[in-house]
Amino acid sequence: MPALNVEFSDRELEDLRQIAKERGTSMKALVREAAAADIARHRALQEGAEAFRRFFASHADEFAAAFPDDEPAHASEGRVA
């Protein structure tokens, strides 16, 4: 399995040791669990953002009608040729 060397300050390393001890796990397991949780959170945010973009695109006309002040001005408006 591929590995990654990560450097920590002395304070961070001591904090990791203490947390791992309190949780009854190894430092390696603690760091891997934190990284895996962050990866899962990142994926969920990406999926949520994509779902929102699809929803917004499919209801763009409804949003435009409901919030006309939030619609961008056309590129040609307000410009002098």
- How far CA 33 is from CA of 6, 29, 59, in Å, comes to 14, 6, 39
What is residue 1's predicted lDDT score, i.e. its pLDDT?
84
**How many angstroms separate the CA atoms of 6 and 31, rounded?**
10
Rounded Cα distance, 31 and 44, in Å: 20
pTM above 0.85, yes or no: no
- Name the nearest CA neighbour of 2 among 33, 39, 34, 32: 32
Q: What is the mean pLDDT of residues 23-35?
A: 97
Q: What is the pLDDT of residues 30-52, one digit of tens each?
A: 999 999 999 999 999 999 999 99
pLDDT at position 80 over 80 = no
Q: Record the tokens describing residue 18, joined without a space.
A: 């203490």
Closest C-alpha among 55, 54, 60 to residue 72: 60
